Amino acid sequence: MILGVSGFNGAGKGEVVRFLEARSFQKLSLSDVVREALRAQGTEETRESMIEAGRALRAARGEGTLAAQLVTRMTADLNYVIDSVRHPAEVEVLRDHADRFKLLWVDAAESVRLERIRARGRSGDPETLEALRDLEGRELGSADPAAQQLLAVRELADVSLANDGSLDDLRCRLQEVLQENLFFERPSWDEYFMSIARVIAARSNCVKRKVGAVIAVDRRIISTGYNGTPRGVRNCNEGGCPRCNSFAEEGTRLDECLCSHGEENAITQAAYHGVSVRGGSLYTTLSPCLMCTKMIINAGIEEVAYNAAYPLADVALSLLREAGVKLRQVSDDGSSGRPSGHA
């Protein structure tokens, strides 16, 4: 869950952020990106310098640049609350990043907001309604597309939180928002195992192609493998395989290749540690070659799911079908095609 927070001065944005932080939301602020820029320039942080630095960053790098920088700091395993959303392009970046993004707009009557601003007693805060209106006039909208555009942000809000009442009222409404957004999609098992296979492929030391494989039994990973030279032999990327290091043409000089395949290594690693793969499912980023196919069949693996098709795979795939191994291709988004046949 990723929740953005925006609103007028004194509306209660800080209370919303604190409520969510106390419930395991990781706080990120677009203002922090601006502060980092000011520190790099050696400029003192004031309200005016923050506004101008934010405008300058949007003008130089694109109107959504502050949000784009925060997106790189997010991971899929955490909930986030994003503070200081002040431009519609920032909302667009956050929505593009995650379907589960929601923008919360916090609002309160002008007189209520002024009372809160006075109560917090910050230096430079407005003391009158006229001063508050003058301050906000520079934030609501501008002919300069890189300037703050709070009114345009308000129009994009998914949820509007009226905060004229008590703090308990606000917290109750926030609790309702969380309850309404509890449900989200998890990766399918195919997407889960195939994404792990892709990470495993990144460990490959082969200079021509990186392949990763996962063997699971009862949806539990029991072995993994990636392609590369055998244990104790110089790595392929260190010159260990003459065929790969000469970048031989596809389908040629296969008798010179010293690299073991990902599926082969997953099966032999299981054997090395005395773990049975019988009845398992093998997920691989590349469909098996003929040699790996024979190992898969004889090891008792019952299912093979692959992402990309191996160029010389026709005979191998036919043999898997003949042996009764369930076979299907899994697309990049984790969806599966129709089974390729099983006995």
Active site residues: 263
Q: What is the DSSP letter of 214?
A: E
CA atoms within 13 A on the CB side of 113: 23
Cα separation, 259 vs 52, whole angstroms: 57
Q: What is the DSSP letter of 289?
A: -
| Residue labelled with tokens 């508050």 | 132
| Residue labelled with tokens 């308990």 | 168
For residue 32, give both structure tokens. Answer: 């922090």
- Largest Cα–Cα separation, the chain: 84
Of residues 113, 107, 142, 108, the one with CA closest to residue 127: 113
Backbone angles phi, psi at 276, to 5 degrees: -80, 135
